[in-house]
Structure 1
Amino acid sequence: MDFAFDARTEELRKNLLSFMDEHVYPAEAVADEQRAALASPWDTPQIVEDLKAEARGRGLWNLFLPDEEYGAGLTNLQYAPLAEITGRSPQLAPTALNCAAPDTGNMEVLAQFGSEAQKKQWLRPLLAGEIRSAFAMTEPDVASSDATNIETRIERDGGGTYVINGRKWYISGAMNPLCRIFIVMGKTDPDGADVRRQQSMVLVPRDTPGLEVRRAMQVYGYEDHYHGGHAEVVFHDVRVPTANLIGEEGGGFGIAQARLGPGRIHHCMRLIGMAERAIELMCRRAVSRTAFGKPLARQGVVRQWIADARVAVEQLRLLVLKTAWLMDTVGNKGAHTEIQAIKIATPRTVVDILDRAVQLYGAGGVSQDFPLAELWAAARTLRLADGPDEVHQRSLARRELKAYL
């Protein structure tokens, strides 16, 4: 078993680490200052556009997409350590590399299931970083952890038009002025016998009449500006051509599962990067602060926190890399158990590491002067996003028990 990175991954890692040190970390404070001076909090600070230009010039662009026609052609195993590095600055780095959700998942959907016309109109500008996008699935009035509950209706009105009615919320990317297209999941056959064939996905341009971005949704008080925010969106008699259907009618559930698989491993690797930054911050704090007559670094409980964090991160990384390897070798279905395992273990563990880091920083840990509070909010949210812990535990246990029942 070879644990070394291949030559291409190592080259990209060195390039990306240099980019982070020279450009991303110094830009964090600048981005906050520039955002405060913008006319709208949802506008993009100039420093973000500068980072995107620098990343593209370095060849650090669309690294997430394995299809060589559209992306860098990296395997999941090659991309995983790069996603980890970007997780150390999750607000800036993924966006700078055009590797930020929800655009990544939307581009994967279009690349895999979109028609040639859809790819030309929407995938190409997304790949170029010229526009942003949103993915509209979650709804406030039903338990959206069960996607078969979705109530949004996509109905035919004559031969060539769909009419969409429904209410969504926490629609990532929708507040960004550059968001030009929504991928909307709703039911085209609500009474169908197979509950997993009732849903479809359609493309809805943002400027379509009847599409209302009603309000921004906060996450633990944060608005998540760099990912385009999260919005409540209402569709009232929204009309789009049936040519805007992605794939086939009834294929929405399957497309959603195909979209979420890679997204889960991307999230988990970025979470490991967040944990690594937390450990670094813990160590810096521990050697620079004194309490009760000796540095925090000599306090037994602090050493325990740091040691436990290191052990946990090493365990998580190995599991996530194994999952990436399985996805590459036997496919997402073959890696189903491992994908669920990392989705359960990684956010939960990283939240705990960040919580210890916050504790070590005291009042500073919950303040805006350090990144820990925002990192904690992001990690805690990922115990819900792409399926809550309990849904993955339910499915994983069912799979384990199957042979014994």
Structure 2
Amino acid sequence: MSAGLAAVRTGIEAATPAPGDGVVLINGADLTPEPIRWLWPGWLALGKLHMLAGATGEGKTTIAMKMAATVTVGGHWADGSRCEPGNVLIWSGEDDPADTLLPRLLAAGADRTRCYFVSGVRVEDEVQSFDPARHMAALEEQARAIGGVKLLIVDPVVSAVRGDSHKNTEVRRALQPVVDLASRIDAAAVGISHFSKAGAGADPASRVVGSIAFAAVARVVLVAAKVRTENGEDRRVLARGKSNIGPDEGGFEYSIEQVEPSPGIVASCITWGQPVTGTARQLLAEADEQVSTSAMGAAEDFLRECLATPMPANMVKREAADAGHAWITVRRAANALGVVRRKGGVNNGWYWQLREDAQETPKVLIQNDEHLRQKLSTFDESGGATACGPLVDAVPNGECSEEVL
């Protein structure tokens, strides 16, 4: 036998499974079709992983506490359906249970005796931080000892990832124990995450911070966003951004209120409002448009005030930062207003000047700006060159590549 053939044969023998080992196959005839079992019909499914995502400040954790409270008392969901009472497991890496989470639960009317918080792991009489990579089996043991756990909240869901949260393989590997735990204890798991600032107008599931695996592994992605009604009032909505197991559109308005669940304790609480129609992508597009429009409008107002007289571009940038305007938004506003950029001589930088027709009302100067006018030697009353040096042609709408700020 040749050496090559022997190596091949040895490899085959090494790969041969031991008796009793091997791939397990299930024939379809041996399975019984089962319906999805819902904790909240169409929204939270037992044994499945869900993602609750949205921009900062939209009350995602408060929404999760409202859900938890509903479960503990067997209350009504936003659509009026009744929930079967159960226990809740909460694993939070950001908020303190005593001064933040419990007050919000009480504000939502929760039965505190049904709420359990993961605070750590005891190893040889020493309490250590909970590590999902090592302690998930211990958490499952505790969940089974409690019994009746119907909801598991992980806030933020990235806490379950010990590797790189932007790598698909590592995120999937880290989330699988959470998925398995939810399945084995028959609970709905909800992971809370943020939206990335980029990707406005894109599919909501693709805007979850980190790897796309966060949204891909979850069977349902819920989206919390703020939009503006036709009459100009702001409203918050909770919508379904994705669902592999049920309807993937529609939602409910909600508001965030401050209440006092016990003397001296103030906490935020969710109040459900009217149902809304449309997909989460449509609703978020409306929200993104409103935010963009509002920011642009504010930046345009800033420029009308700031450019009552010509101003150096670097000074405009400093003033914009002090006023809280993003520079990219200011540049877009400048383009929209037709702000003219002019370049002075060799020793002079760029200057911005507002077109006369871009001002809504005539501006009255209240400061002494003679020194500024002397430095802006590229501008005279007629717009031509002065003795301080020749003018570079005016460049409207920011089309000049030399101005880099």
TM bin, normalised by shorter chain, reads: under 0.3
Q: TM-score, normalised by structure 1?
A: 0.23
- Say which structure is richer in helix: 1
Larger radius of gyration: 2
